[in-house]
Structure 1
């Protein structure tokens, strides 16, 4: 018998504790999204090679997809507390605001890569505005410049890419040993925005610029850089990717200057004084819209006509597109309008094929030939791309063949042009996916073509369409041919001499001529190299010692 009595069970707390489940940070999901996104970018990069523009666009698309994926993962599937999720989102937004609060997108390179600059630094337009304020009292007022400008002589550079629009320098000899005898800087100073080049006749240099809300045609003294006269239009063209300002180059003819602005204003000036003779607002008068990246074709002179590109039809279903239009170069009266296809960004070019003078226009749908007397279409060869951009000038190889090239994944071709009676036929001799001439015209030398294939210098055999070599990165710059030398103005403002040799790539010399993004064509007149971009212009003496003029160097 148990004396202690019956045993009782200890009391158990009826309240039971509930375990709160731990949150699991699903970081592997986020890492997977990041790695898969990067893998997709790398795959597309190589899949789209060698088209640089589409490669860059694929990177933008890939980054966007990664950010969207990470955002969805972070907010919905990360497994973190909602407070942490919103704090992370707020931190990302703050970082984004700080980045773009400190930096601005100054411009886009030719392959659409953005250029950043601190917001507190002055813009190129602000720097140019300050410069022109300083020199305003020294400039000659519009219409007060004096002196006669003689007609074009050998050695002048009377328009876009020279007298023949082929980028080839005739009867000029330049020095090439820039280490022991470097180019002599004659002058350098800021200019207004714009992508046109210089037209140089005698001691005058003409170009077009955007200065604030005013688009100007300006005449500089070619040997000092001093501003002689300015003509203003209260218009402004601006586009996010393409930038600000006019795109075309003035054309000189028998004492008169012809210009087309970024918004389609066509002018005829007295070249000596800047006095306007006549003008037309092409887009308003013809009821047309501007091109996406602005009116870019430089005026072409043929006999008594000035011939220019047109804009885009407001309603193509009713009117169709209009390719080119011709005016009497002295009176400004319209003579004819030709073509029914969409305009693009190359300039009209004179050619003689099968003994027949004709105007070549490389518009958005292909290469078309027009009779210069009345604008009738002679023949058409379809050649286009997804962007509808044909900007490089065609190269006339001989009286029966032409080379063309464009970018956005297309390439180049050699065309055979034949005539039987009144009928014309155009056949492909060969096509190639290289070089891709996005908006960079090529040059021809001894049966070979040299061009920037998505920014890389390439030599091509015109006979069989085979690439000889591809080397040297210049971005989306421009070039001309001086003797047997390629003179390349690269996108970063440097100037290089490269041998036009199909057997090898050989760089001869290099200088940093100007700074800033440079898409403008160089010009060479009487041994003087003129370069510019949307920020700065400069003149260098590169003539041989025996031809060098005693010019005082001036650098502002």
Structure 2
């Protein structure tokens, strides 16, 4: 009987903690800010649950990615763009590879390496403000590289390049949305050959043409689609050809000149959630249709005076989406109706939030720029579980893998796990 009870207890323990390891892009394995697995710590500090920490050169705002035991991050050093590979279990450096010439950041939060890398079971893709894009193998060898600005025209963004590469089954895709000559371009992962290039010049005024957001790749009814937010519109594209399938406008009805977009879209439960207007609005668009679907598929729009997210991208799961606003409001909404379920403000601080929220094991993780991460409950009311300060300046989004949290500052990386 004791043996049976022990077996049952062990089974319950195993069932209560499940690990999932790969984090292929900055918004996680499903591109909606949701971590797989469970057993992640909810409290830590400089002397608690820190498994390791490492410094790295340069100043970097990008989010790391993970495949297997490899963690990849980008930075700049000695005037070069740099990709680093660390063992995710020990923090030990496995290799580093430099390519291209660094182009320094303009903004105090900017750098030459704000775009996050992307990875799959074979390749690592890194993209930098300089326009340099490279494909590396898992040993750090460059398989191909090119400079998009030399091939397709100079960067005309007013601030620092922020969009990250995204991956389909066969392609790596980059979005360039700026004052003129905006486009999406897709390259064969293995060879770097251009497969398609789709112009995306929309009727938006001045800076509103510019976007720092990252597209979302979704497998919908067995077909890969790419959704893009910027220039006062959301557009949907066939991933194989780049062809525009539909567009939804109306995100800037007053034609405000300076509604550049930073926060990226999130897709969940048949809807696309589009933050816009510098944190002034969030719109729900039902997926599907053809051509201009503004009147037929825009389901709801909520407006606020900057209380929604300008920089952080929402996270979504199980019919709800969660916003962490730049000034610390955390809000929960119904995906299909836009109805607010709950919301309140975290402790006031002069520091803002740039990292995007992550949903993991029934909790919401939001990291403030001063390195403090708040953990909240995902339930039916605003409830803060813990407040966890660490030293550093945090712009990157936390990464979750195998029961551990990887929190990257602009010059340091922490691995957080239960001891």
Match of 2:302 in 1: 432
Q: Is the 8 A contact 1:323 1:363 kept in 2?
A: no
3-state DSSP of counterpart to 1:285? helix
Match of 2:24 among 158, 161, 166: 158
User: Could you tell me how far 1:276 is from its partner in structure 2?
Assistant: 0.5
Equivalent residue in structure 2 for 1:414, among 284, 287, 303: 284
Structure 2, unaligned runs of 5 or more: 1-18, 202-208
Aligned to 2:16: none
TM-score by length of 1: 0.63
Q: Following the alignment from structure 2 to structure 1, what is the Cα–Cα distance between the partners of residues 279 and 26?
A: 26
Q: Which runs of 5+ in 1 are unaligned?
A: 1-152, 546-556
**Partner in structure 2 of residue 295 of structure 1:** 161
> Deviation of residue 378 (structure 1)?
0.8
The answer for the alignment partner of 1:487 in structure 2 is 365
Residue 50 of structure 1 corresponds to: none
Aligned counterpart, 1:458: 331
Map of 1:15 onto structure 2: none
What is the CA distance between 1:328 and its match in structure 2? 0.9
* Cα deviations by residue, 1:190-232 (Å, 9 ceiling, x for unpaired): 4421110111122221111122422211112222222222222
Distance 2:40 2:107 in 1: 38
Partner of 1:263: 130
Question: Structure 2-normalised TM-score?
Answer: 0.83
Answering whether residue 406 of structure 2 is matched by residue 530 of structure 1, we say yes
- 2:171 corresponding residue in structure 1: 305
Deviation at 1:461, TM superposition (A): 3.0
Tell me, in whole angstroms, the C-alpha distance in 2 between the residues paired with 1:343 and 1:376: 21
Structure with the largest fraction of helix: 1
- Which of 216, 219, 228 lines up with 2:85 in the alignment? 219
Quick check: which has more Rg, 1 or 2? 1
- Going from structure 1 to structure 2, the CA distance change for 1:237 and 1:290 (only over 3 Å counts) comes to farther
CA distance in 1, matches of 2:365, 2:193: 39
Q: Is the Cα contact below 8 Å between 1:498 and 1:509 reproduced in 2?
A: yes
Q: Is the 8 A contact 2:34 2:360 kept in 1?
A: yes
SS at match of 2:293: strand
Instruction: Tell me the distance in 2 between the aligned counterparts of 1:490 and 1:242.
Output: 13
CA deviation vs aligned residue, 1:447-484 (integer Å, no higher than 9, x gap): 32211223222222334323322221572232200021
Q: Give the corresponding residue for 2:391.
A: 514
Q: Report the Cα distance in structure 2 between the residues aligned to 1:527 and 1:301, rounded to whole angstroms.
A: 25
The answer to whether the Cα contact below 8 Å between 2:279 and 2:309 also exists between their aligned partners in 1 is no
Q: How many angstroms does 1:515 deviate by?
A: 1.9
Residue pair 1:390, 1:438 contacting (<8 A) in 2 also: yes
Instruction: Name the structure, 1 or 2, with higher relative contact order (CA <8 Å, separation 6+).
Output: 2
How many residue pairs match? The answer is: 378
Partner of 1:244: 111
Contact 1:300-1:348 at 8 Å conserved across structures:
yes
Q: CA deviation at 1:397?
A: 2.5
Whole-angstrom distance in 2 between the partners of 1:526 and 1:294: 33
CA RMSD of superposed structures (Å) = 2.5
